[in-house]
Structure 1
Amino acid sequence: MPKARKRKTPITLTDPTTTTIHTTSNSNSSSKPKSGRTVIRRFHVLLKLQTQLQKAAFHDPSKKTELLNVEREIEDLGGLKAYQRMSVIGQGSDRGGGSEKVLVGWLRDMELHKLQAEKKLQLLEVGALKPDNYASCSSWIENTPMDLNSRHPAIIEQDFLLLDQESNYEKWDVISLSLVLNFVPEPLDRGRMLGLAYDFLVDGGHLFVALPLPCLSNSRYLDFEHFTGLMKFLGFTQLQCHWREGGKMVYYLFRKEIRGVGADPGSSQTRGANSNVIPERFTKKTVLRQGNRNNFSIVLCNSR
């Protein structure tokens, strides 16, 4: 069978606020940093479009052809395997290493590593691409790596959003969401993920969030102030934040506060009785910036 001709293919999202994106789907140079980022960005766009078309096709059969075309391009890019491969390459020591270095440094700054004689920190690493990211800290961190599509037998294959809430309630000392929220297609699911993280952490536990910097610096619907306000509402206190001008990532460390102490009323969206008092600014997408922006957002749900 002859190889498909490689060409630039425009994809226009059905969301009228989303811009048309042009990018090549040549994965032969995928080991190069720029090419790897292109594959990852392209995959995010296609996954979002796939989700939109799956919903639309349920009511409009004519959308099925568009859906098939999107799914075909996802497969042409290599699917999740290509995304994961690029992400692993991006975590290489020659490109700054993985975000676990940032988290470990912050935990050491709080001297949590000195508690190893009493009890290891129970860490849930969501979106783990390698099973041994925290091997050097095994004397004080008990890591449980998990991913939607496991690349290794030691990585649990599991959707975080489908974790059993009862057995994971207040189970974890630390939860890492490194390059995870931006991979979730729906804004409501991103909000639900943060709410579940609150429920799954012990009181005083820590949540690590790593995002591509443009998610906050160049989003139409989300900026630094809105994000930290949303996190405070859910019941988190910001302890650390690191990013730099011209950089590609932003890192946060939050501490879970006991509800009613340092948190706004009705902060739980996953099980709280007061979820109906969630401020409107957190329950819908509101334009915060004009111009050529991306559409990344996080939305909380008023109903369960």
Structure 2
Amino acid sequence: MPKTKKRKQPIVSAVASTSITAQTCRNTIRQYHFLLKQRRKLENAPDPQSSLEEIEHQLSNLGGLERYQELSTLGQREERGGGAEKIFIQWMKELNVHRRTEDSAKLRLLEVGALKPDNYHTCSSWIEWTPIDLHSRHPHIVEQDFLLMDADQHANKWDAISLSLVLNFVPLPLDRGRMLELAHKMLVSGGLLFLSLPLPCVANSRYLTFEHLKSLMLSIGFSEIRERWRQSGKMVYWLYKKITVSEIQPPSNFNKKVVLRQGHRNNFAIIST
């Protein structure tokens, strides 16, 4: 009986698959940013309707925010080094925030833009966290627009707030500033704000530098106590502490965009009132 030839299987390794997925994540996020930027420009155009429809069509084909969330969740898996919350937890431990007595209440943490409901489950003995997101993908994540939260109801309520990869998805520079100002109002005195952004938002912006951001945050009422990034890296992380009004230096003019660097740069900016 003649031997039956075995069908050849495609040569696909786990490493190659992971590499392709990582590249897909980066490409999708880049396209998403580009289309949102084009949409903002068209919204101010005299007759934007047909062009806006095309942008919306491309966003739909790309998968929109839902697809971005899926890829971002993938990027938080353990094989990719986990999420930014690990850095936040490490910094809080360095500050001995986790050393709470049996009688003391747990640290109240508001996690904005949460993609997973259990980012802080390993710290449940000392953290009581509330994850929120614009489009919740899990029943334990509250569907909530941070900018629409009642400022008076949440004033001085939270011990810590996480804004990890959040500001860069807020379309308007003024709303980015509003988000930081709202976080300041919602934190208790001495409360902690964790902020993370893609490195180019600060390192390659014509309207923002590390020093400018530090001064802007100080004018809002945040003192920088930690900063972490690498020259060849993709992300930058900060930890800020809410300071009292008497400690705040006289505010500079941050209510408009000012060109700080020339050349081929991006337009990421933050405007604070």
Q: TM-score normalized by structure 1?
A: 0.81
* In structure 1, C-alpha distance between the alignment counterparts of 2:161 and 2:187, rounded to whole Å: 7
- Within the alignment, does 1:226 sit opposite 2:212 as a pair? yes
Match for residue 65 of structure 2? 80
* In structure 1, C-alpha distance between the alignment counterparts of 2:182 and 2:232, rounded to whole Å: 32
- Gap regions ≥5 residues in structure 1: 1-27, 266-277
* In structure 1, C-alpha distance between the alignment counterparts of 2:126 and 2:37, rounded to whole Å: 38
User: CA-to-partner distance for each residue in 1:125-174, whole Å, 9 max, x for gaps?
Assistant: 00000000000000000010000111101001111000011111111000
* In structure 2, C-alpha distance between the alignment counterparts of 1:49 and 1:155, rounded to whole Å: 30
In structure 2, relative to structure 1, the CA distance for the partners of 1:85 and 1:138 (3 Å cut) is: same
* In structure 2, C-alpha distance between the alignment counterparts of 1:135 and 1:52, rounded to whole Å: 41
More off after superposition, 102-111 vs 33-42: 33-42
Amino acid in structure 2 at the alignment position of 1:193: M
Match for residue 286 of structure 1? 258
CA apart distance, 1:110:
0.8
- Gap regions ≥5 residues in structure 2: 1-16
Give the conservation status (yes or no) of the 8 Å contact 1:116–1:140: no
Match for residue 299 of structure 1? 271
Give the conservation status (yes or no) of the 8 Å contact 1:121–1:174: yes
* In structure 1, C-alpha distance between the alignment counterparts of 2:146 and 2:249, rounded to whole Å: 25
Give the conservation status (yes or no) of the 8 Å contact 1:30–1:86: no
CA apart distance, 1:105:
0.2
Secondary structure of the residue aligned to 1:165 is: coil
- Within the alignment, does 1:188 sit opposite 2:177 as a pair? no
* In structure 2, C-alpha distance between the alignment counterparts of 1:29 and 1:253, rounded to whole Å: 31
Give the conservation status (yes or no) of the 8 Å contact 1:207–1:255: yes
- Within the alignment, does 1:177 sit opposite 2:177 as a pair? no
Aligned ranges 1:62-77 → 2 under 5 Å: 62-77=47-62
Give the conservation status (yes or no) of the 8 Å contact 1:241–1:252: yes
* In structure 2, C-alpha distance between the alignment counterparts of 1:187 and 1:31, rounded to whole Å: 33
* In structure 2, C-alpha distance between the alignment counterparts of 1:299 and 1:49, rounded to whole Å: 20
User: CA-to-partner distance for each residue in 1:1-28, whole Å, 9 max, x for gaps?
Assistant: xxxxxxxxxxxxxxxxxxxxxxxxxxx9
In structure 2, relative to structure 1, the CA distance for the partners of 1:42 and 1:93 (3 Å cut) is: same
- Within the alignment, does 1:99 sit opposite 2:72 as a pair? no
Aligned ranges 1:220-299 → 2 under 5 Å: 220-261=206-247, 263-265=248-250, 279-280=252-253, 282-299=254-271
- Within the alignment, does 1:151 sit opposite 2:137 as a pair? yes
CA apart distance, 1:204:
0.4
Aligned CA-pair RMSD: 1.6
* In structure 2, C-alpha distance between the alignment counterparts of 1:192 and 1:245, rounded to whole Å: 29
* In structure 1, C-alpha distance between the alignment counterparts of 2:189 and 2:162, rounded to whole Å: 16
CA apart distance, 1:93:
1.2
* In structure 1, C-alpha distance between the alignment counterparts of 2:269 and 2:30, rounded to whole Å: 16
CA apart distance, 1:264:
2.3
- Percent identity over the alignment is 53
Q: TM-score normalized by structure 2?
A: 0.90
Give the conservation status (yes or no) of the 8 Å contact 2:219–2:252: no
Residues paired across the two proteins, number: 256
* In structure 1, C-alpha distance between the alignment counterparts of 2:20 and 2:163, rounded to whole Å: 24
Give the conservation status (yes or no) of the 8 Å contact 1:31–1:89: no
User: CA-to-partner distance for each residue in 1:247-286, whole Å, 9 max, x for gaps?
Assistant: 011000000001112x124xxxxxxxxxxxx533x11111
* In structure 2, C-alpha distance between the alignment counterparts of 1:29 and 1:291, rounded to whole Å: 35
* In structure 1, C-alpha distance between the alignment counterparts of 2:113 and 2:90, rounded to whole Å: 20
Give the conservation status (yes or no) of the 8 Å contact 1:31–1:86: no
Secondary structure of the residue aligned to 2:98 is: helix
Give the one of 23, 44, 63 matched to 1:34.
23
Aligned ranges 1:204-223 → 2 under 5 Å: 204-223=190-209
CA apart distance, 1:299:
0.7
Quick check: which has more Rg, 1 or 2?
A: 2
* In structure 1, C-alpha distance between the alignment counterparts of 2:219 and 2:35, rounded to whole Å: 31
